[in-house]
Amino acid sequence: MPAPFPGMDPYVERPAIWADFHDSLVLCIRGALQPQLKPKYAALTQDRLYVVEAERPIFPDVAVVRTPVTSAGATGTALLEPDTATVFDLWREEIREPLIHIVEPAANNRIVTTIEVLSPANKAPGVGRREYLRKREELWNAGINLVEIDLLREGDPTIRLSPEKLKELKPWHYLVAVTRFWPSRQEIYEIPLRRPLPRVAIPLTPDDSDVVLDLQGVFTRSWDEGPYPELLKYDGPPPGPLTPDEVAWCEERLRDAGFRAAEKAR
């Protein structure tokens, strides 16, 4: 069954679905770019890893003192017992975020461009966002182009624009930001909910022309190869902030695609 929306499917942003779709989309992007890159370049999937530490209290903070019982008339010294401390269960979770490096094999696999599909952790305060922004600065300092694909409406944008400049963009729900090292500039693709995803120019080295990523094409392939209609079921409104008019438009698309057939019968 084809996807019911002309561009991004807002229901895919559900946390239970997004992680699987994210990884699938990364692989489809690599597959779409590989034929255009040969023989000089290659697209490789890599993992960015970072560790999240957390704690959970497992005992209440209550002081308890136990005094040993002695027989009648016996004398003895009470043994001191430690007060009960508040105990935390510590755990360390390794987070894996796949991305794509376009490399130049003849130059010892030198990275020329990195493609990131943002995850919720990249857009929310915390270690995931800090780690992402730190790695982004490393790429910039190393002279590597960066393509940031943001298909999530929740959270704070990561693109290198001030809040004032961000307001000057055309109305958008999703963004793709291409940061070129040379010439140094950022190219922004604004994506409204009701429009197909764009064809994005992917920069290489200054000596070579861009290759084109058909983002709608790879989205459709990822959708077609996955179990998303069965997983989503399209129950309830889409997640994230939408206006009443946008919610009504989503409902209309779902009715037209047959996902609201039961509601039509009533």
What's the CA angle centered on 218, arms 213 and 219, to 5 degrees?
125
Per-residue confidence (pLDDT) for residue 246, from 0 to 100: 96
5 occurs within a structural domain? no
Compute the half-sphere exposure of residue 69: CA atoms within 13 Å on the CB side of its CA.
Answer: 2
175 occurs within a structural domain? yes
63 occurs within a structural domain? no
232 occurs within a structural domain? yes
67 occurs within a structural domain? no
**220: which 2 tokens?**
């459709």
Per-residue confidence (pLDDT) for residue 211, from 0 to 100: 97
Compute the half-sphere exposure of residue 173: CA atoms within 13 Å on the CB side of its CA.
Answer: 20
Based on the structure, what is the number of domains in the chain?
1
64 occurs within a structural domain? no
219 occurs within a structural domain? yes
Per-residue confidence (pLDDT) for residue 58, from 0 to 100: 42
216 occurs within a structural domain? yes
Residues of the chain with pLDDT under 50: 55-67, 263-266
pTM above 0.95, yes or no: no
Per-residue confidence (pLDDT) for residue 159, from 0 to 100: 86
Cis peptide before 203 (omega within 30 of 0): no
**Domain boundaries, position 41:** 10-52+90-258
Cα(179)–Cα(137) distance, rounded to whole angstroms?
Answer: 12
Strand locations in the chain (E): 42-57, 88-104, 110-117, 145-150, 174-180, 185-191, 199-202, 211-214
Per-residue confidence (pLDDT) for residue 164, from 0 to 100: 85
Per-residue confidence (pLDDT) for residue 160, from 0 to 100: 84
Q: Strand 110-117 vs strand 145-150: parallel, antiparallel, or unpaired?
A: parallel
